[in-house]
Chain A
């Protein structure tokens, strides 16, 4: 991992208008950076705005304020986007939470995996689209006999592997995964996370991994950001965050992780977190090297 910054999110703000007067502030002045080859975990409870961040990063939503620099290109700027459209669309890939809805039920697996290549008119390096799909499937641990199946005939874990194969077929430099394991069984979750770790080591892509399961984040990620109500409360390297959590919300989240030791598990206490109303909206401050906390 070098220190080149691949993705730089600056003061990102996004609301969803409900009526003319009222809007939901899904993401509120959020900044973080993703270095090349790094796995950055974004955690937070459901509704904290994680998916909105992912969709802004992928240009699916236009943020109301802030900038997102990818390789130094401001992707929210229409002109810059148009100029680099092809590069942006091929080198950034998104994996959704629910593979049942992110794969078209009426397409065969080989067509799903080859779809990005067809869209971008890329000649597959292994001759045919089918051969390329078979190769990618082998890569993510799927049997080539699935090539002609339709998604409803596969299990959740297999479908998520298809989605991963589709994303990796483009050799992305940035992979964004929005809770890719949340809809899977626990044993399958571990398999998929292992697969991610393996693929990341192999390909070296940068990885924005969104989750609300802290155990998986601890295993997979290099750095972690904790989100709450659209804001980042704490950003730190994984080990540092899990050893020395500073923000009370982080402490509360960590206290909710089950411990695989019955004695300690019974002694585990949940630390509740209540945001004091009217508390000042903290800005991130570096307390120790690379460890930022909102104060």
Chain B
């Protein structure tokens, strides 16, 4: 036997695996929709900076003027400048969208969480009531609530829209809370004396937020759409309150006089905003699903 029977030869040299290519951060994100939406939102928020005049000023001499140098998007049948109305009206439309979604989210989270934490009988009762609410046509509810609240204002219409669109989100919240409430950190918080709202705020909401986020965005979208529909039908905001919806409600007269810009301009802004929100919402939904699978 030779002395050098054992030679340490080491491990076979292997080339280091190529470093995984880092995905660019924007891969798969709705950049275009986000950008367009950003421009619209910024424009509405900052419109005071680049629009000097009063948007509701009626230049009756120039009623139904076609788009041109003086009036970028033309004027409506009452001689108001559509370019400034678009941005100022967008403010109100977006405000109603956000406020309506906020109200419906707040109602959905509280009712869903109460139902999810409650004993079986209360849970069943609340869910039956929710289903009952769901089965009443929304339009009927809106008209009914409008009648109770009286003269429509931005606040009242947000409230009406918010109060009629929380049901499906409440169901999702309830299902999530049912799963979360028996987890040990919730039990621990309860044994330390944490109350309902403490547990809701600190433990439940952070854990189910991602799964309702897309519904929040979709609620913004449907609140904007609802306001437009209502105003268009003449049961929403009065004509003096400029929104995209109330601008559209002039369409009947506009069509008769062949002033296409009166419908087309607010229509394009409305549809673009709704499409961007939809695209954002479905991205959030996919992201939430992906996270669920990875857990």
- Taking Cβ atoms with an 8 Å cutoff, the residues of A that contact B are 58-60, 85-86, 89-90, 92-94, 96, 98, 101-107, 115-116, 118-120, 170
Is B187 in contact with chain A by the CB < 8 A criterion?
A: yes
Question: A101, B184: Cβ atoms under 8 Å?
Answer: yes
Number of contact residues on B: which range applies?
A: 10 to 19
Question: B191, A104: Cβ atoms under 8 Å?
Answer: no
What per-residue 1/0 map shows which CB atoms of B180-202 lie under 8 Å from chain A?
00011101111111110010001
Question: B193, A115: Cβ atoms under 8 Å?
Answer: no
Q: A85-B193, A104-B185 are in contact. Are A119 and B207 (CB under 8 A)?
A: no
* Chain B hits for A98, CB < 8 A: 184
Q: How many A-B residue pairs have CB under 8 A?
A: 52
Distance (Å) between the CB of A65 and the closest chain B CB? Answer: 22
A-B contact list, 9 entries, CB within 8 Å: A86-B193, A89-B193, A94-B188, A102-B184, A102-B185, A104-B203, A106-B206, A107-B203, A115-B194
Q: A59-B191, A106-B207 are in contact. Are A119 and B184 (CB under 8 A)?
A: no
Question: B193, A60: Cβ atoms under 8 Å?
Answer: no
The CA-CA distance from A244 to B206 in the complex, in Å, is 53
Best-buried of A86, A92, A93, A104 by chain B (most CB within 10 Å): A104
- Taking Cβ atoms with an 8 Å cutoff, the residues of B that contact A are 183-185, 187-195, 198, 202-203, 206-207
What's the dominant secondary structure at chain B's contact region?
Answer: helix
Q: A104-B206, A104-B207, A115-B202 are in contact. Are A96 and B188 (CB under 8 A)?
A: yes
Question: B191, A60: Cβ atoms under 8 Å?
Answer: yes
The CA-CA distance from A154 to B190 in the complex, in Å, is 24
The CA-CA distance from A102 to B186 in the complex, in Å, is 8
| A118 to chain B: closest residue by CB | B198
Best-buried of A59, A85, A90, A101 by chain B (most CB within 10 Å): A101
* Chain A hits for B184, CB < 8 A: 96, 98, 101-102
| B195 to chain A: closest residue by CB | A119
Question: A120, B187: Cβ atoms under 8 Å?
Answer: no
Q: A104-B206, A107-B202 are in contact. Are A58 and B191 (CB under 8 A)?
A: yes
Question: B192, A89: Cβ atoms under 8 Å?
Answer: yes
- Determine which of B185, B187, B190, B202 lies in contact with A103 in the assembled complex, contact meaning CB atoms within 8 Å: B185
* Chain B hits for A119, CB < 8 A: 189, 192-195, 198
* Chain B hits for A86, CB < 8 A: 193
The CA-CA distance from A1 to B110 in the complex, in Å, is 48
Distance (Å) between the CB of B158 and the closest chain A CB? Answer: 30
* Chain B hits for A90, CB < 8 A: 193
- Determine which of A60, A92, A115 lies in contact with B187 in the assembled complex, contact meaning CB atoms within 8 Å: A60
The CA-CA distance from A104 to B192 in the complex, in Å, is 14
- Determine which of B183, B190, B193, B206 lies in contact with A120 in the assembled complex, contact meaning CB atoms within 8 Å: B193
* Chain A hits for B194, CB < 8 A: 115, 119
